[in-house]
Structure formats: structure tokens, C-alpha cells
A and B are shown apart, each in its own frame.
Chain A
Amino acid sequence: MTESLLNLVPKAEAEQSMKDFKSDQEVRWCPGCGDYAVLAAVQGFMPELGLARENIVFVSGIGCSSRFPYYMNTYGMHSIHGRAPAIATGLASSRRDLSVWVVTGDGDALSIGGNHLIHALRRNVNLKILLFNNRIYGLTKGQYSPTSEIGKITKSTPVGSLDAPFNPVSLAIGAEASFVARTVDSDRKHLTEVLRQAAAHPGTALVEIYQNCNIFNDGAFEVLKDRQQAEDAVIRLEHGSPIRFGADRTKGVVRDRTTGDLKVVAVTAENEAEILVHDAHSASPTTAFALSRLADPDTLHHTPIGVFRSVDRPVYDTLMADQLDAAVEQHGKGELGALLAGNDTWTVVG
């Protein structure tokens, strides 16, 4: 792997604690909201990075999750609906000494801001994007979102929604993302580990966080959280390990020889060698994409979590800085007088 770009960001002079990252603003999400857990996990993880607080910036769009920057004692911008990736792109590509994080939701990132998200991913700007997916519109009080399951009954779809949902991980992989992961709000340990890998990744890291909206879509991810059900529902991806899950890890993922697709099988002595070993660094996105399609969109059975894909790809802001340096090397530092005069002048004498 290329060296992390974190070494461009100044380090904190003293050891930090979670408290250092709490702003003086009262947190105003609904009691019981999954956002609290994510906020606590991020505030708890930040001291581990050890970056100067003033060199960290959180940029958000509009929605419940987008209030996040107000609660972080760093620099922050609560912008407008869907545009955070674009704004953060300008900031990150002009200030490589900053660690820039984008906080967004399923409506913000995938509906109104879908265009900016896919273009940030394809450019591979050095951004860490936390996509809080609760499969509902919370701030506007309960309309279906672009990740809601088909047929969803909401205020705006009294007889059921008609449109097929996006799978954010599939979308990101299709948009040439170099780092894509999924985690769950309530699993602090897993969430923190994913943040750790995302932070170290040079380029755009997209982290989908399944987050519970206890007001408008309560229990949307319960099957992944309930201890008993989760055993069969959740597939924990770990780079270099066979993809196995279930009680006593009796289920596994294999490649179907006829279709090339992935499928879940009961692990036996005969097929054990065929269980797919997860390779997050594979140059080809094919298997990562196939993994992103394993889950049943309605029941969420066989939902992989963890890092789907983490590959090295040239980073936009690094390339941009290199072009500037190369221009100075080739032509010298710009001289304004020479620029204004150009090559074709004439003189008028008094």
C-alpha cells in the first residue's frame, strides 16, 4: 500500500482524549437515535489518529446526520443538501494538510447529491465519507428514501413506494471507489475498526453505516443487531480470511461454477477448500461487487459488513499538487509582468 496521506497532516502536540473532540453545543438528535452511537465512536476514535484538531474538518449536507459537524470540536461546515462532497473536494484538493471528513445520509448522498458522490469516488479525492443509512427521510419526517425497500409505506407513499432502492456499496464500487466499507451504528468495536482503516486510506473512503431511526424506521436493521438472528444474517468480512459465518461458522460463501456468481452454502469437509478467501485489495472490483449483492434487500439476510474493497489508486489532490509542482519546475514560478505582456506588443511613445 502507498503510504497514508495522514503524514501530510500536522500531529497534535499533546495526547488527546475523547473529550477534546466534543464541542460545547448541545446534541439535539431524538433520544435513542443511532447517530449518538456513531458520534461517540468517531469522537472516541479521533484521539487515536493524533492529528492536530485544527487540521480536521467535518463537512456535511442536510439531514439529521448532517448536524454532526456542530458536535465535533474541529473545524466544520454544515452546508446545503447533497453538496458536501463537492465542497469538501474543493477544500481537500486545495489544502492537503487537512483531514477532511464528509458526513451524509442516504437521502443527502444518494438522492439530491448522488452526482457529487459518484464523482468524488471516481476522482479519488482524499475524503472520508461517512454515509449514515437509515433507509428513510428523518428530518422531513418520514418519507421513503433511495435506500428504502420497494413497497415501503410512508407518508408520501401511502400505498407503497414504487422505486427500487440503491445498494450504496454496489453503487460506490460501480463508481470506481478505491475504498468501500459497511458497518453498523451499534457495533462500536466494528465501527471503530472500519474508521481506522478508512482514515488510513489514501483517497476517497466510503463508509456506509447502518443507522437506526427510532422515530420513522425503527428496527430497520434489527435482524443484524439481534444476537440470535445476526449470526445467520451478518457476514463479517476480514481481509485474508475465508468468508464464513453463522452459528459455529457453518456457512460460507463460494463461487458458483456455472454462473460465476457468489452463493452461500453450508460448509462441509468436501467444500471447505472452496470457501472464498476475502481479498479487499484485489485489483478487480468484480468479487467485491458480487459480495455487495449477497444480501437480500428485503430481509437483509446475508449482509456482509467490513471492508469490501481497499485498493491503491492515484489520489486526485496529490495529482493536482504534482501538476502545479511540475509546472513550476518546467516554466519557473509564474511572473505576472511577463504573463500580462504576452508575445505581441507595441509601444506608444509620448
Chain B
Amino acid sequence: MTSQVSSPAEQADGTVLGEQRKAAGGKDVRRLNRVIIRFAGDSGDGMQLTGDRFTSETASFGNDLSTLPNFPAEIRAPAGTLPGVSSFQLHFADHDILTPGDAPNVLVAMNPAALKANIEDLPRGAEIIVNTDEFTKRALAKVGYAGDPLRDGSLDGYSLHPVPLTTLTVEALRQFDLSRKEAERSKNMFALGLLSWMYHRPTEATERFLNAKFAGKPQIAAANIAAYRAGWNFGETTEDFAVSYEVAPAARAFPPGVYRNISGNLALAYGLIAASRQADLPLFLGSYPITPASDILHELSRHKNFGVRTFQAEDEIAGIGAALGAAFGGSLAVTTTSGPGVALKSETIGLAVSLELPLLIVDIQRGGPSTGLPTKTEQADLLQAMYGRNGEAPVPVLAPRTPADCFEAALEAARIALAYRTPVFLLSDGYLANGSEPWRIPDTQELPDLRVQFARGPNHTLQDGTEVFWPYRRDPRTLARPWAIPGTPGLEHRIGGIEKQDGTGNISYDPANHDFMVRTRQAKIDGITVPDLEVDDPDGAGVLVLGWGSTYGPITAAVRRIRGTGGAIAQAHLRHLNPFPKNLGEVLGRYEKVIVPEMNLGQLATLIRAKYLIDARSHNQVNGMPFKAEQLAQVLKEAIDD
């Protein structure tokens, strides 16, 4: 590289190549506005950890970012095979971004399987860093490579960096008293060091992290740090890496505040703790481990000093059962699960509808039906949440839109559950759960007040003047029944799943009473106050794209692309799926066309068509992965031009 400065140029994928300069070390530094990196290797290669660390470095540097971890359900699939490939994609930029990116600019492939499984996603010209040590005849044959792709010219269209990562790592750790196998394990840190050099990432936090992680094994900590530094130095000295890149902090993308990086499941766990504090009620989680929801159980179990009780039950049914028992006792009760778990909990959710007690059901959706794709994302539990119970059993449903938004969505779910004494579904998904993004840490003084009033005394006067407590005498405004917890003298009462007489709550098989109670329970949910739907429509468009949940990022990115090329499109995104915002019908009526992209076969579209009698058009993808912005933009463009 000789040119000192090159002029900025926008590439086909929207990446802007900035000016290039010569750094003090003699190597060229090129400025980019955004980069997408994918780390890929065996399930045992530590790719998720590598990705996490690069993400943390990137977050603390101040870039905007979005991540997509992608891993198999098997804990250790056979080494070197395609099903065993685990990857972590990170998109970071000097401006605000919405998705983990469609196609990586850089692929780190730790073995032939990782190369083969990911090469199709790479645009020509992308950089590929491969661990040549793993490209043995046997390893190549294992994944069906007839020849060696590093030599046969099939990668000529890419910028290939063959690096003997394993050898270099073992070499760098010679001074340590480690077996070869132990030393090899640090190769992911070598790769992290190399990438950290390439993108000018700060390194102190990773070294701190390694020291803390291996606090009990200082030798291993030191070896990992040595491998990490060796990777950095390798980038700086070897001639193969002639250029490094700068992506400036996304200073203008963020409102002022203190930020951290946060994943969806962590944000959701924090939202639950915050809701407990704002409601002044102890938090009780009844749960059974299930991918991809278990991290919420793990996280909450660490915060007992917040008065959080976590109960790992014998099964999904006991998880929600215990939560419902705790709700009866006056806790803010939660159960966390994924789709298969919801199926098992359905009967208890119906009981909660009948008992009219607050209860949060958190469903981190994954690919279905049945066991489906445990580690992949999907939005196909919407109709299960809406209708998956016997009888007329309405339950409010809401969904977060980004990883950080899981925090606020949890607070909103708690608000509805507590104010209306009802089970509430919160539908997150695998993509939000494991993905992460920067989050402006909220001021705890500004969180909503969720306090409730337990019943304290009689609420009804009989004809003879006796003051009595009626457990099903409702608040005329919200139709919520009183929450009278055991321990309150004079309010002893019995509730159950059998139909209850209006007011008294006594068993009643009276036909007219049942009709009344069914309609009243429905009216209570229909009457929940939810904010109006906001529409983003700067150009007075004829086409509206309507989404819900985790498709927010890709849809918004696609909308930006269309507007960037002069197209007009309106966008709206639903947080509340039941009840819908009051203005939804009016909003839908304003547009000639309504497009509903979903990671299912059209569940929201079905609800919209049924309720508003409009010709909502579905665009569906159920491949376990989030939408790609470019493909979605194409679909929206066709709808506009159609």
C-alpha cells in the first residue's frame, strides 16, 4: 500500500470506505463507518466467548452494535463437522444500526467446517482469516471438501489470510507449563487479539475479564492473556495484514447518558427485578430449564439480596404452579419458558385466568413445532399465547422489539398483570434473548410506579346491612377483582377453577352467570389501557409495514434503505398484541397496502385480517434466523411498485 489518502467511497452494501492514513507503526489505517465480523468454529472452540469479548471491547469503545450468536443445540457435536459449527456475528458502526448485518465483511474460520458452513453468506471481496493448522486432509474430507480450498483457487474472489493460529498460539505459550492440548485451547484468544488489533479495540477490559474468569487458575489466566497479546502483536508485525481499520465511536447516534451493553435475557431479568422493586412486592420465579430461556433463571438466582426467590421446579407445570401459588400469597410471580413449556403450562394459565391473579409468563420463542430448533429464533407462538387454552381464556400479550427493550417490556407486562389481576404473556425470542446492543441505563427514579393495594377489609354490604368481603366484586374502572392475600383477617375466601358466581366467587353452574362471567373476563382484557400505535410516515406513503417483536431491527433497516433511495413507506411496530392499541384499525385503514413481515407463517396477519377485515399481506420466513434487511427491503420495494 503506498497511497497515503484515498477518497471516501460507498460500497454496494452501504459500507463507506473512509480515508486511509499511515499510522505511526508504518501500516495503513483505513477508516470505515461500519463492519460486520463473524467468528466461526467448532462448538468447543470458544467462539461465543470470543464474540462476547469483542462485543464488550466494541461497546466500551462507543460504537453502536448488534450481535447474532448462532450455535447448535448439541453441547459438543462431533468435532470438525458442519452441525458442530458455532458462530457469533457482530455488526458495529459509527452511527446507529439496527441489525447484526446481512453479510459479514470478515469471517474468522477456525476449521474447514466453519469455512464451509459460512462461505455462502460472504460477499466477494470479504476478508477471510482461516486457521490453516486445521486444514488437514482428514478435516477437509470430513466436511466433503475434495481439494483444499485454501489452494485450489476457489477463494480467489476473497481476501484470504491463512494463519496457523494453533501453531502460533502453542509457540507463544511455550514458556508456560501447559500440555499442548491446554495451550491449543487459547487459540480463540489469539484470534481475538488479532481482530482487536485489526479494529483498534481497547484491550484492558478483556485482560481484566480473563484475570477474573480464571482467578482460581492464575497460570491459565496468564496463558490466555499471553495468547491474546500474541495475536495482537502478530497483526502488528506480519506483512499479511497490511491494513488495520478504525470505526469511530457512534457519538451522535446516542442521546447523552451512561451506557452499557446488554443482551435480551439479561435486560428481561433486570426488568423483572425492577418491576418487583417498583411494585414493592417480592419477586418469585418458578421455572424449569429450557433453551433459550434458562439464562433468566440463572440471572435471577444470583440476586437473592433483592428478595428474589427462584424455584427450579420438577417440570414446566410445577414451575408455573409454584408461581401461581406465590401470586396467591402476594408475590410478583413469574414463570419463564419457551414454546414447548408454554404448551405444558396451558392448563395452569387457564386457572390463572379463572383465579384472576397477576402472573407473568415469559416465552422466549424458538423454532417449533415440538422440540423444533431449540437454539434458533422464531415468532410462531403468537397464536398459542392468544388462544392456546381450553374455554374462553383471554390473556394480554406483549412483545419486546430489541434486546435492550426487554427491560421496559418486562415492566409493562408487570404493570398490566398487577393492575388487571391477570396472567400476561411476554413474547421474546431467541434472537433477542442472546443478541445484544448498547443500552442507556435508566434513572431508577424515573421507572413507573407499579404499587398495588391489597384488599384490607369488606367491600360489600348485604341487604341486612352485614359488611362482607366478595372476592369477585370488581373495580368498575379496570374490572379487576380485589387481591386479598392470606394473612388478612376477615377476608378468608376460597377460589378455584370452577365457574364462580359474579361477586361472591362461590361455585356457580348457573347458565346466565357463566355467560356473564365469560363476557366480563373478556371485557376486562379488552379494556386494558395500552398506548396508541405510533406510525413513522414522513412522506405520506401508501404502503405500511407492520411488525411485532424482534423483527423491529431488520424492518427498520429495510425501511431506511427504501427511504434512502427515495422510496416512501410507512412503518409501525406493535408492542401490544392483545389487546391491540385502540387506534390500530384507524391506522390500518389509512393505507392502500399493509405488509406484515413475520418469522412464522402469518400469525399477526391472521389476527389483523380477522379483526379489521383488511387485506394484510404476509411476508414470512421461518428458517430460524432473523430477516436480512436487504432481502426485506426488496420485498417492501416490490410491494410499493406492485
Contacts and interface: CB of A to CB of B under 8 A. Distances in A.
A76 B494 contact: yes
Contacts of B487: 10, 52, 54-55, 95, 97-98
Interface in A148-204: none
A86 B490 CA distance: 27
Interface stretch (B299-307, B363-371, B426-434): B299-307
A78 B494 CA distance: 7
A115 interface: yes
Contacts, number: 202
B131 interface: no
A74 B486 CA distance: 9
B564 interface: no
A170 B184 CA distance: 54
A68 to B, nearest CB: 10
B154 interface: no
B186 to A, nearest CB: 22
Nearest to A91: B325
B494 A348 contact: no
Given A87-B325, A337-B444, A350-B255, A93 B488 contact: no
Given A23-B494, A348-B256, A79 B351 contact: yes
Given A90-B311, A324-B304, A346-B60, A77 B205 contact: no
Interface size on A, as a range, is 35 or more
Given A344-B260, A348-B256, A78 B323 contact: no
Interface stretch (B35-43, B156-164, B312-320): B312-320
A69 B309 contact: no
Contact of A53 (B256, B313, B492): B492
Could you tell me the dominant secondary structure of chain B's interface residues? mixed
Contacts of A77: 325, 328, 355, 494-496
Contacts of A59: 325
B330 interface: yes
B492 A75 contact: yes
Contacts of B491: 54
B498 interface: yes
Contact of A346 (B62, B315, B494): B62
Contacts of A340: 270, 274, 441-442, 444
A93 B261 contact: no
Contact of A75 (B305, B331, B442, B493): B493
Contact of B325 (A90, A323, A328): A90
Interface string B253-276: 011111111000000001001100
A328 B307 CA distance: 8
B603 to A, nearest CB: 27
B304 A323 contact: yes
B497 interface: yes
B347 interface: yes
B251 interface: yes
B325 A88 contact: yes
Given A23-B494, A91-B325, A119-B314, A327 B305 contact: yes
B167 interface: no
A13 to B, nearest CB: 9
A331 B492 contact: no
A334 B305 contact: yes
Nearest to B335: A90
B223 interface: no
Contacts of B328: 57, 77, 87, 91
Contacts of A72: 494
Contacts of A332: 305
A89 B311 contact: yes
Interface of A: 10, 23, 25, 52-57, 59, 69-70, 72-80, 83, 86-95, 97-98, 115-116, 119, 320, 323-324, 326-328, 330-334, 336-337, 339-342, 344-350
Given A320-B309, A346-B59, 13 more contacts: A10-B487, A52-B489, A57-B486, A78-B497, A83-B321, A90-B286, A90-B325, A91-B325, A93-B311, A94-B309, A115-B318, A336-B277, A340-B274
Sorted from nearest, which 7 A-B pairs have the closest CB atoms?
A78-B496, A90-B322, A90-B325, A86-B321, A334-B306, A327-B304, A91-B325
11 contacts: A56-B486, A75-B486, A76-B496, A79-B324, A80-B348, A87-B321, A87-B328, A93-B309, A340-B274, A348-B251, A348-B254
